[in-house]
Amino acid sequence: MSFNFWQKWLVGLGACIVVFGLVLAFFTQSPLMDTLILQYYDRIFWPDNKISPGTTQYKNWVTSVLGAGVASWGIFITFLAYYPFKSREKWAWSCICVAVTLWFVVDTAWSLFYHVTINAVFNLITLALFAVPLLLTRKHFFGRDG
């Protein structure tokens, strides 16, 4: 597949991350979020299904704020992939690679520490969605041997 395909893949992936972040931010208390995410996480931290109102408020706030951060991260990825990555500026490839690696290592380490295996699996899938285009476009930025 061509460089243009993978560049557009990264733009689309960034856009999907924006949408996911906005769903987290604005639909935290919805049945959609319960079905997609919260049913898996809640049973890890509250196996007896007893959550105080204050804890529920805190959980919803944290999820909403996390969504804002995820959406803004997606905006950065989208813009990087659309402009400087498309122009084959080395720093754009490196920026995406380093940011994704840092996110993956820290997020996955804490997920495993707190036994949130479902999040670690989600992270592996997301990493693969980034790693494939980054690996297959590397030569366009650094040459075949660089």
In this prediction, residue 95 carries a pLDDT of 97
Is the pLDDT confidence value at 51 over 80? Answer: yes
pTM reported for the whole predicted model: 0.91
The Cα angle at residue 29 between residues 25 and 34, in degrees rounded to 5: 105
Is the pLDDT confidence value at 132 over 70? Answer: yes
In this prediction, residue 37 carries a pLDDT of 81
Average confidence score pLDDT of the chain = 94
Per-domain boundaries in the chain? 3-142
Which tokens belong to 49? 């299904």
Is the pLDDT confidence value at 110 over 80? Answer: yes
In this prediction, residue 145 carries a pLDDT of 58
**Tens digits of residue pLDDT in 95-106:** 999 999 999 999
Average pLDDT over residues 72-87: 98
The Cα–Cα gap between 103 and 129 comes to 14
